[in-house]
Structure 1
């Protein structure tokens, strides 16, 4: 019998992220508490740029964006936001979406699978994703449960389960 396998990836659906940013932009434009504060949220290349006239307003806009991302099914672990910084008379927050598993996180996940996972499970790093193989499908299911329960700082998806 051939080995069963699945891939571990960390990807963000760009269309859903774009929808979340557009919804946040519309809410910021319409909300009364943001009137006259020059608050905005928009794409700036591959990053999301948040602007407001005070640091508190910039954080409030970030909060609106985070709530829209959650509603669109995007984990906040995928959002990498910097601290508010002053740029002239406005405050800015630059955020980006994390795609792919970094090599250090891939090694950390591999170590968790090797140390705490069932016997006979092999993991292999392939670029920005991991392939996990085993003869037993139950072992693969327990690896998925193990990784969902572990406290990692990235959002994981499990695809190509065969």
Structure 2
């Protein structure tokens, strides 16, 4: 039996679920009466989604559809970082949506400080773009997970490698 238990706090998303959400959103956009003739295109890159559509009104509707489909597939809406709207050729508009992955050092420091302030017997260490939390009891780790889920963080948090 291990003397200490630990888990990792990461910020990630399931890429296949994102692909599925984009596919569903594309099908809904092609079928919706108000968006049918906009010739909207959504291109998924390595870490961005590029949306090209007819107007800013259509772009807002695309945002709504995309966020709805992502939420239905259990993707956090915090992974989307909407960039500035640019004008494209032919009177169209384009927008880059950056997909956030990993915990920045500032957020990792905030998380580890919150754990240190509220739980004296638990250690939190920053390891790259993740935070490792360790303690002598699994019950204490469960308490930390519940505490972190109740707080509002600027990134989506997942808890992995629980052992």
Which bin holds the TM-score, normalised by the shorter protein? Answer: over 0.9
- TM-score under structure 2 length normalisation: 0.93
- What secondary structure sits across from 1:84 in the alignment? strand
Q: Which residue of 2 aligns with 1:33?
A: 34
1:75 aligns with 2:42: no
- Give a deviation string over 1:51-82, Cα, whole Å, max 9, x none: 22111111111111111111111000111112
Using the alignment, how far apart are the partners of 1:56 and 1:83 within structure 2?
15
Q: Which residue of 1 aligns with 2:58?
A: 57
Task: Give matches, 1:89-108, under 5 Å.
Answer: 89-108=91-110
Q: How many residues align?
A: 161
- What secondary structure sits across from 1:36 in the alignment? helix
Q: Which residue of 1 aligns with 2:139?
A: 138
Q: Which residue of 1 aligns with 2:154?
A: 153
Cα RMSD (Å): 1.3
Using the alignment, how far apart are the partners of 2:113 and 2:107 within structure 1?
10
Please report how far the alpha carbon of residue 44 of structure 1 lies from its aligned counterpart in structure 2 after TM superposition.
Answer: 3.8
Structure 1 alignment gaps of length 5 or more: none
- Give a deviation string over 1:110-133, Cα, whole Å, max 9, x none: 1110112x2210001111111100
Using the alignment, how far apart are the partners of 1:126 and 1:45 within structure 2?
23
Structure 2 alignment gaps of length 5 or more: none
Task: Give matches, 1:103-122, under 5 Å.
Answer: 103-116=105-118, 118-122=119-123
Using the alignment, how far apart are the partners of 1:147 and 1:44 within structure 2?
31
Please report how far the alpha carbon of residue 45 of structure 1 lies from its aligned counterpart in structure 2 after TM superposition.
Answer: 4.4
Please report how far the alpha carbon of residue 42 of structure 1 lies from its aligned counterpart in structure 2 after TM superposition.
Answer: 2.3
- TM-score under structure 1 length normalisation: 0.93
Q: 1:133 to 1:44 in 2, by over 3 A?
A: closer
